[in-house]
Amino acid sequence: NEPMKNPKVRQAINMAINRQGIVDALMKGSTKVVNSACAPNQFGCEQNVTAYPYDPEKAKALLAEAGYPKGFSLDFYAYRDRPLAEAMIGMLADVGITANLNFLQYSTLREKRIKGEIPLSFQTWGSNSVADVSAITSSFFRMGGEDDARDPQVAALLEKGDSSTDEGERKDAYAKALSMIADKAYWVPLWLYSTNYVM
């Protein structure tokens, strides 16, 4: 009966967070909202996936359908960008989800995630600057320690993409995997981070 195991709850969380509003108000500059569990400039990062618009009323309706008409409480973990985490917590509260902030060092948060102790977390990933979807999506959805979804179909598709040398086959496998990740709302893809340098 854990709320996060219910896909309607996960979809509601996607619709409760005003990602564009956070980008406009708090992030300023060259960044944009993303809908797929990867960065658009990475090879194989399919963009034609289910996108969840900001819709608090629909989020409340989904929570009611999931059996939580009065909402619920859960722990929300983060390790950076506290103002962004707090903004999301406020948005979740607006639909009836009381998210209790646990602000930790990254290493501690990661260890707790691997042990399966974290229901919801706000995290970032740089892919070690590798412009290939395997550098992010496969790190989190191939049954490793940080795979919260544990979806064997997604993992099999990613393994197929990772092990093939045929570009078309790789793109097809990744597109199917990313579509499943979006449909099942395993993540709330947020935005890109930009780092600017003057040389």
Q: Which amino acid is at 102?
A: N
Per-residue pLDDT, 1: 63
Please choose, from the candidates 46, 52, 50, the residue with its C-alpha nearest in 3D space to the C-alpha of residue 157: 46
Where b means 16+ CB within 10 Å and e means fewer, 133-171 reads bbbbbbbbbbeeeebbbebeebbebbbbbbeeeeeeebb
Write out pLDDT tens, residues 136-149.
999 999 999 999 99
Cα angle 193, 55, 39 (rounded to 5 degrees) comes to: 25
pLDDT at residue 13 is higher than 90? yes
Write out pLDDT tens, residues 95-149.
999 999 999 999 999 999 999 999 999 999 989 889 999 999 999 999 999 999 9
pLDDT at residue 197 is higher than 80? no
> Is the pTM here over 0.85, yes or no?
yes
Per-residue pLDDT, 181: 98
CA Rg value for the chain: 17
